[in-house]
Chain A
Amino acid sequence: MRVLFVEDDKGIAHFVKKGLEENYLAVDMAYDGEEGLYLALHERYDLFILDIMLPKIDGIEILQSIREKGIDTPAIFLTAKDAEKDIVKGLNLGADDYMVKPFSINELLARVRAILRRGKTESVSELKVADLTMDLKRHKVLRGGKRIDLTPKEYALLEYLMRNEGQILTRTMISESIWDYHFDSLTNVIDVHVYHLRNKIDKGLKPKLLHTIKGVGYVLEQRD
């Protein structure tokens, strides 16, 4: 998978490129709009990540030119907090998603994955991580064959973690997708909920499946 990333800020460019590459994506960088547009029109990519405020040509114009040429490669915008008009404009032009700076690299990665995976979702009736299984039809969760009772929110949280096995989920991503809660409260409330879930699925069992990535979030995976 090949990504074109157009961003003039060297600091952001550096860590996003690194993050994408660590997740097995090939990244081409452009540091201004002109270069970005040239690459977009002359190379083949699976995804564009475009900053809106760029030297020479801005991100919205790049997308406009790309779409006019009939290239419908998915695109994600990066934007500063205040640019609500730009966001609407970008989405109308056919951008697939946007991220507001400052953003979490893990959230960006999750959205990149979601876009690249799109159209390939196979319907499954069971999720499985090591000996933890979730029966999606009967809403039953088993660990090592033993039934685990979960509250509805715990079930939803576990399902979210299992569907994103091996991927870091931040607290914001969890509160948004499980509680439809869009405001960063800066409390450790998500940690408490994860702690409760962990007590039910991991306590006294090996291997541990639900891991904390300190300062960032959580990941569900079997580690060797």
Chain B
Amino acid sequence: MSSNKGTRFYKRTDFKITLWYIVTFVVTTIIIFSFMYVRVKHHLIKEIDRFLKDELREFALKVSETPVDFKGVIKKYEGDIVAREYYPIYVRVLHADGEVIATSGNFAAIVYPINQEKLRGMGVGSSYVETVKVPGRRTPFRVLSFRLADNEKFDYVVQIGTRMKSMRNTLGNFSENIITAIPIALVLGTIGGWLLARRSLSPIAYITEAARRITANNLGERLKSRQSGDELDHLITTLNEMISRLEDSFKRISQFTADVSHELRTPISAMKGEAELLLSKPRPTKEYRRALVTYIKKLDFFTRMINDLILLSKFDSNEAGLKMVRIKLNELLSNLWELFGVLAEQKGIACNLGKIEHADVLGDRTRLQQLFTNIIDNAIKFTPSGGHVDIALQKDGGFAKVSIRDTGIGIPEEASEHIFQRFYRVDKSRTNEIGEMGLGLSICQWIVKAHHGTIEVESALGKGSRFVVSLPLVTGE
């Protein structure tokens, strides 16, 4: 997996997943085995106890046939069951007060202290079972004590026991099996975990490789989806969407650069040609003067363009440095109208200040001036003489709505969605006119956005356009 190059072994995801898998697997196995061990042991002891009870019943039966002759019974008994290979029986009979009456030979060889207290506490017909560790013997004994009484005839305690060797062997066997099984489980768990991790991570290696391959030069490529509809497919889709967005911005940037160079190249070559021509032979001072005046105008245009571009790039990187202050929008508009109204007048257009309500907004004065200048300037520019431009300001649902309506040439429907794009011009033939660079509305849109407002345009070709800028009102102090 080449995507793992340079990643430390213990930091790799497949390693971590495997490790977790093993730990979980082993812990679960141990818990299950331990539980089984305890249960088996419990059952085996229960089994021994049942066996002892059966023996006791038999012994009691024999005693009832020949009452009180315990020694005889035990003797008879000894030959029969004491010498059993797996479950030899140990028998002892006591008086209720603890005095030993009879003992089988094998019981005499072990030490089982007589617990007076327990004996006294026993009712007639009751019993108790104990596991007894006997010094010098590896296996403990299980001993059942029972008070055997028959009215006035007799009252004894019979203790009957057996070795737990067989159980010990069974359990030992069982543990051995478990101890053998755990390493096998460990190995299987490791292999399983590793395979599982690799299998679920292999698409990630592919994604890593593919994503690494995509650079600025092949942004058109996409990661292939596995069509499995899982999270990793979702990741691939998300990455593909991100690459699409990157491709988009790359295209925009290169388009933008091409546009800027084009915008600059044309006027610069005009200026250069003019200057060369002017210098090719002596001219009257007046001509030089005229040329210099146009130069200043063109240079102003360049300056403006550079400023606009810087502004746009600052907007893009959110560093526009807007100085937001409370502004009386009605005054700002009236002042603009006062300043620009003369332009309309000069062109034979009526510029009317309609209903202007008092409205305060939070904004950057210069940028708001720029915003409305661009729109008003456009309105005047595209309206033929005899038309009119109407400016109005109304408050509407928490917003200050500025409407600038003209009776100009209007915007063709197919163009209206593009007019806010950089360097977009409705009329391509206007390219070389000073002051027309197609950045104005793009900047307007950014300014409005930065003020948390909206800008909308409705237009009818040949009848006019209406721009509506909505900016959030500030109320109170």
List chain A positions with a Cβ less than 8 A from chain B: 81-82, 84, 102, 153, 175, 179-189, 192-193, 196, 214-216
B373 at interface, CB cutoff 8 A: yes
B296 at the interface (CB under 8 A from A): yes
Q: Contact check, B335 vs A192: say whether CB atoms are below 8 A apart.
A: no
The one of B293, B296, B366, B434 in contact with A183, judged by C-beta atoms closer than 8 angstroms, is: B366
B304 close to A186 (CB less than 8 A): yes
Q: Say yes or no: A189 contacts B300, CB within 8 Å.
A: no
Within the complex, the shortest CB–CB distance from A77 to chain B, in Å, comes to 18
Provide the bound-state CA to CA distance between A162 and B304, in Å.
Answer: 29
A187: chain B residues at CB < 8 Å are: 340, 343, 377, 435
Chain B residue at minimal CB-CB distance from A180: B335
C-alpha gap A133/B386 in the complex (Å): 39
What's the Cα separation between A181 and B337 when bound, in Å? 12
By beta carbon, the residue of chain B nearest A188 is B343
A interface: dominant SS: loop
Distance A184 CA – B296 CA, assembled complex (angstroms): 14
Q: Are A183's CB and B369's CB within 8 A?
A: yes
Contact of A153 among B304, B310, B338, B345 (CB under 8 A): B338
Would B335 and A214 count as touching, CB distance under 8 A? no
A–B Cβ pairs within 8 angstroms, 21 of them = A81-B310, A102-B299, A180-B335, A180-B365, A181-B336, A181-B339, A183-B366, A183-B373, A185-B340, A185-B377, A186-B300, A187-B435, A189-B343, A192-B342, A192-B346, A193-B339, A214-B289, A214-B293, A215-B292, A215-B293, A215-B295
With A179-B335, A187-B343: A215-B297 Cβ-Cβ less than 8 Å = yes
**CA A188 – CA B301 in complex, angstroms?**
13
- Complex-state Cα separation, A185 to B336, whole angstroms: 11
Q: Nearest CB to that of A192 among chain B residues?
A: B342
Q: B residues within 8 A CB of A180?
A: 335, 365
Return the chain B residue nearest A183 by Cβ.
B370
Contacts of A185 in B (CB 8 A): 340, 373, 377
Contacts of A181 in B (CB 8 A): 335-336, 339, 369
Q: Which of A179, A186, A193 has the most CB of B within 10 A?
A: A186
Interface status of B321 (Cβ within 8 A of chain A) = yes
Complexed CA–CA distance, A175 and B338 (Å): 12
